[in-house]
Structure 1
Amino acid sequence: MTTVDFAQMSGLEVMQWVQKESPTEFPSIGRLLGMRFDEVEHGRIVISLDTRPDFANPLGAVHGGIAATLLDSALGCAVHTTLPAGVGFTTLELKVNYIRAARTDGQTLTATGTVIHAGRRTATAEGRVIDDQGKLIAHATTTCMIL
């Protein structure tokens, strides 16, 4: 396993490392769900994943928790890109609106998270999940506490 001193890296540098290294040896929600960090820039993150049958709810569609987790990751990581080295965050609130169901057959879902406000104590961000046809699956807002 690669040893990286995240405490010495800005949030943007950490997210760029995650994007570049795609750390598969690293236990994480990203590895569990197969998330890919497609775009990383200051205040903005794009993450995608391919759906699979394991993501199904009892009705056979992708469980809403998958979209919520994708949004929580994209919005939180977008906030993280604005933070200096040694500063962290935690999600205080996540509000998700579900628009339509996603299929479990390998459909690509893409979440974009964008920071609205990055202050000393709190940050807010918004995001959307779209399917591979560009249709809106869910959208969300978050408030994060800066630690």
Structure 2
Amino acid sequence: MTETTRKPLSGLDSLRAMLAGKGRAPAISATLNFKAVAVEEGVVTFTGTPLEAFTNPIGTVHGGWYGAILDSCMACAVFSKLPAGTGYTTLEYKVNIIRPIPLGTEVTATGTAQHVGRSTGVAVGEIRGVDGRLYATGSTTCIVMSQG
């Protein structure tokens, strides 16, 4: 099979290939210092560590960092349930920041798909420290699109 005739992968298989280093990792992951670490059908986990470069004018982690890692894990949870030839993009997401993440603290962001249908997918997520402390929660709605 040539590169141009390769059979499309399901979302779950695409994410598994990414984890194995055989697929494209999201460029934003490198930029914002987080990465996918676990993939199951409907559940995707990222880890990340906010750096000083990601702070707002008062010196705390910018809300956009929380949003980026939550958007990534939640949308990928939706993607993990999609069949081959189907894509997605975020329609909207919401973040609830519960407490500031101390700079240099590694956190885990886990997204869980709640519903994935023909036209939309809905997921929730949370950011926790290694001690289990909850830093933020989120929710998302993604549009499901045919790539055929």
Under a length normalisation based on structure 1, what TM-score does the superposition of the two structures give? 0.88
Which of these residues, 125, 130, 133, is aligned with residue 132 of structure 1? Answer: 130
Amino acid in the other structure paired with 1:128: E
Residue 86 to residue 43, structure 1, CA distance change in 2 (3 Å): same
- Does the CA contact (< 8 Å) of 2:107 and 2:130 recur in 1? yes
Helix, strand or coil: the match of 1:107?
A: coil
The answer for the alignment partner of 2:8 in structure 1 is 8
**Alignment of 1:47 onto 2:68:** no
The answer for the alignment partner of 1:72 in structure 2 is 71
Helix, strand or coil: the match of 1:68?
A: helix
Kindly state the Cα deviation for residue 7 of structure 1 after the two structures are TM-superposed.
6.9
CA-to-aligned-CA distance 1:45-90 (integer Å, 9 cap, x gap): 0001122111111111111110110000000001001111111011
Amino acid in the other structure paired with 2:67: A
Identity of aligned residues (%): 38
The answer for the alignment partner of 2:57 in structure 1 is 58
- Does the CA contact (< 8 Å) of 1:37 and 1:48 recur in 2? yes
Residue 6 to residue 55, structure 1, CA distance change in 2 (3 Å): farther
The answer for the alignment partner of 2:18 in structure 1 is 18
- Does the CA contact (< 8 Å) of 2:18 and 2:25 recur in 1? no
Instruction: Supply the distance in 1 between the matched residues of 2:119 and 2:38 (Cα, whole angstroms).
Output: 26
Residue 27 to residue 5, structure 1, CA distance change in 2 (3 Å): farther
Kindly state the Cα deviation for residue 131 of structure 1 after the two structures are TM-superposed.
2.0
Instruction: Supply the distance in 1 between the matched residues of 2:4 and 2:39 (Cα, whole angstroms).
Output: 19
Can you give the 5+ residue segments of structure 2 that lack an aligned partner in the other structure? Answer: none
Instruction: Supply the distance in 1 between the matched residues of 2:123 and 2:129 (Cα, whole angstroms).
Output: 20
Under a length normalisation based on structure 2, what TM-score does the superposition of the two structures give? 0.88
Amino acid in the other structure paired with 1:140: G
Can you give the 5+ residue segments of structure 1 that lack an aligned partner in the other structure? Answer: none
Residue 62 to residue 84, structure 1, CA distance change in 2 (3 Å): same
Kindly state the Cα deviation for residue 30 of structure 1 after the two structures are TM-superposed.
1.1
Kindly state the Cα deviation for residue 36 of structure 1 after the two structures are TM-superposed.
2.2
State the aligned residue count.
143
**Alignment of 1:109 onto 2:126:** no
Residue 5 to residue 127, structure 1, CA distance change in 2 (3 Å): farther
The answer for the alignment partner of 1:82 in structure 2 is 81
The answer for the alignment partner of 2:91 in structure 1 is 92
Q: CA RMSD in A?
A: 2.2
